[in-house]
Structure 1
Amino acid sequence: MRIDVNADLGETVDDVAVSDDEAMLTVVSSANVACGFHAGTPSHIARTLAAAAARGVTVGAHVSYDDKPGFGRIPMDYDPGVLADELLYQIGALDALARAAGTRVAYVKPHGALYNRIVHDDVQARAVVDGVRAFGDLPLLVLPGSVVEDRARAAGLRPVREAFADRGYASDGTLVPRTEPGALVTDPAAVAERVVRLADRGTLIAVDGSEIRVDAESICVHGDSPDAVVLARSIRRALLGAGARIEGFA
């Protein structure tokens, strides 16, 4: 088994770090680094990029709606041209900081409400793909079965299917909204069991108890989850103990 483990890093709000980036970078193989639109400042982002480069962790652009007050989690209607331009701007800015730190942007992952919107919204999915393609031929982390997965593949981009170690799933394979019960899985033992099942069988147990198919090349653990570092370490131990090889996909 070979699997990537990723986390959302570089996120600061009012100069307070949302996650322990240094600790998370000892665990993950890919870092989704904030681009300043939902969180992060240039200096905080640069420090995370330098730490990722030092650890040999692959860097991706964690692009978002322009929504710092809502941490990128408020659904928004957008002119598709504006959305594509804003994504290109974010990727380019992060790549400049990454190159100064001795690394580069190797993939893109949409954040929060944008990530959820392009599961079903064809207009915004096309805009995201257009923004990525304007920068270059970068892989795009996506939810399996999403509209953006199809649009990325049709446009010649590589869609990389992602699963979430610490998020609840509905029976249709979508994520349980954070406002609903079961949205977060916080028990390290339960999270460890989930990721081994994902890597070995490609399945998860949904909140209604049903088994669902979730084929994924990458597993995400949220850096802002309760005890995120503990969860991430439990994931790494479980995967290695099951004989998996943890390495970046990009």
Structure 2
Amino acid sequence: MHIDLNSDMGESFGRWTLGDDEALLSVVTSANVACGSHAGDPSVLRRTCEQAAARGVAIGAHVGYRDLAGFGRRFIDVPPAELADDIVYQLGALDAFARIAGDRVRYVKPHGALYNAIVHHEEQAAAVVAAVRAYDPGLPVLGLPGSAWLRLADEAGLPTVREAFADRAYTPGGTLVSRREPGAVLDDPEKVAARCLDIVEGRPIPAADGTPVRIEADSLCVHGDSPGAVQMAQAVSGALSAAGVRLAPFAPAAADRPGTEGRPCVH
């Protein structure tokens, strides 16, 4: 049995530092790297890609709304065509830094408000799918099970990957509790680790109201900007390893992906 462990990274900007990316890269198997729209600047993106590639951690494009002030956590009613163009722009920017580091972007995960919007927002979900498919139809996409995003991606032939959140509370319907609600973000590493083991082994977890809910996942996310994120990731990794669960990235290396043989990679 194996599972991927991912975390958001590359979210510092200029003199403002957020998260301990270097420490997290020693624990996780996939890095959702900001693309400069909700967070991150060019130097941060380049450094994060170099550190991830050096450690063998899969680089994912953490695309989002163009909203630095709101950290990408505010819904923006952007026209679908403009959203698609913005996603392609972000993918290309991060992929350039990944290639310079000797790797390439291996998957796509929407961020924040965009992630939540495309659970149900069909037009925006279709726009993000169109952008990824236009850029690279072999790129896996990461998202919430049952979302419009994963359904439309699957219909378009994109590889889809189901995600569960280690440190977020769930509704009885299997969606995330809004960050505006008390208890939406979990902060006890041991309880979170035990809950992650339940998810991986197919057992239901309690929703925010106590209702049992089963979450199917191929990847677990620990938010890199949460207090104690490194300790949280270490607790989850330790509990899974002790139970015989192997941590491994879901996205294959560039050399292992069909159709990438002729694509350049700068070393």
How far residue 15 of structure 1 moved from its aligned partner, in angstroms, is 2.6
Q: 1:50-199 counterparts in 2 under 5 A? A: 50-136=50-136, 137-199=138-200
Deviations 1:185-242 (A, max 9, x none): 1001111111100111153211111111111000000001110001010010001011
One-letter amino acid of the counterpart of residue 57, structure 2: V
| RMSD between aligned residues | 0.8
Counterpart for residue 31 of structure 1: 31
Counterpart for residue 229 of structure 1: 230
Structure 2: stretches of 5+ with no match in the other structure:
252-267
Q: For the Cα contact (< 8 Å) 2:39–2:68, is it kept in 1?
A: yes
How far residue 83 of structure 1 moved from its aligned partner, in angstroms, is 0.3
Q: What is the rounded CA distance, in whole Å, between the counterparts of 2:123 and 2:244 in structure 1?
A: 41
Q: What is the rounded CA distance, in whole Å, between the counterparts of 1:100 and 1:245 in structure 2?
A: 29
Q: Does 1:244 align with 2:245?
A: yes
Q: What is the rounded CA distance, in whole Å, between the counterparts of 1:202 and 1:158 in structure 2?
A: 25
Q: For the Cα contact (< 8 Å) 1:87–1:131, is it kept in 2?
A: yes
Query: What's the secondary structure of 2:106's corresponding residue?
Result: strand
Query: What's the secondary structure of 1:225's corresponding residue?
Result: coil
One-letter amino acid of the counterpart of residue 76, structure 1: I
Q: 1:17 to 1:202 in 2, by over 3 A?
A: farther
How far residue 13 of structure 1 moved from its aligned partner, in angstroms, is 3.5
Q: For the Cα contact (< 8 Å) 2:14–2:41, is it kept in 1?
A: no
Q: For the Cα contact (< 8 Å) 2:145–2:216, is it kept in 1?
A: yes
Query: What's the secondary structure of 1:3's corresponding residue?
Result: strand
How far residue 95 of structure 1 moved from its aligned partner, in angstroms, is 0.3
One-letter amino acid of the counterpart of residue 16, structure 1: W
How far residue 17 of structure 1 moved from its aligned partner, in angstroms, is 2.2
Q: What is the rounded CA distance, in whole Å, between the counterparts of 1:65 and 1:166 in structure 2?
A: 23
Q: For the Cα contact (< 8 Å) 2:140–2:160, is it kept in 1?
A: yes
Query: What's the secondary structure of 1:219's corresponding residue?
Result: strand
Q: For the Cα contact (< 8 Å) 2:88–2:131, is it kept in 1?
A: yes
Q: What is the rounded CA distance, in whole Å, between the counterparts of 2:205 and 2:98 in structure 1?
A: 35
Q: What is the rounded CA distance, in whole Å, between the counterparts of 1:77 and 1:177 in structure 2?
A: 19
How far residue 16 of structure 1 moved from its aligned partner, in angstroms, is 2.0
Q: For the Cα contact (< 8 Å) 1:6–1:28, is it kept in 2?
A: yes
Q: What is the rounded CA distance, in whole Å, between the counterparts of 2:238 and 2:184 in structure 1?
A: 24
One-letter amino acid of the counterpart of residue 178, structure 2: P
Structure 1: stretches of 5+ with no match in the other structure:
none
Q: What is the rounded CA distance, in whole Å, between the counterparts of 2:7 and 2:81 in structure 1?
A: 28
Q: What is the rounded CA distance, in whole Å, between the counterparts of 2:169 and 2:57 in structure 1?
A: 27
Q: For the Cα contact (< 8 Å) 1:202–1:216, is it kept in 2?
A: no
Deviations 1:20-44 (A, max 9, x none): 0000000000000000000001101
Q: What is the rounded CA distance, in whole Å, between the counterparts of 1:242 and 1:203 in structure 2?
A: 17
Query: What's the secondary structure of 1:13's corresponding residue?
Result: coil
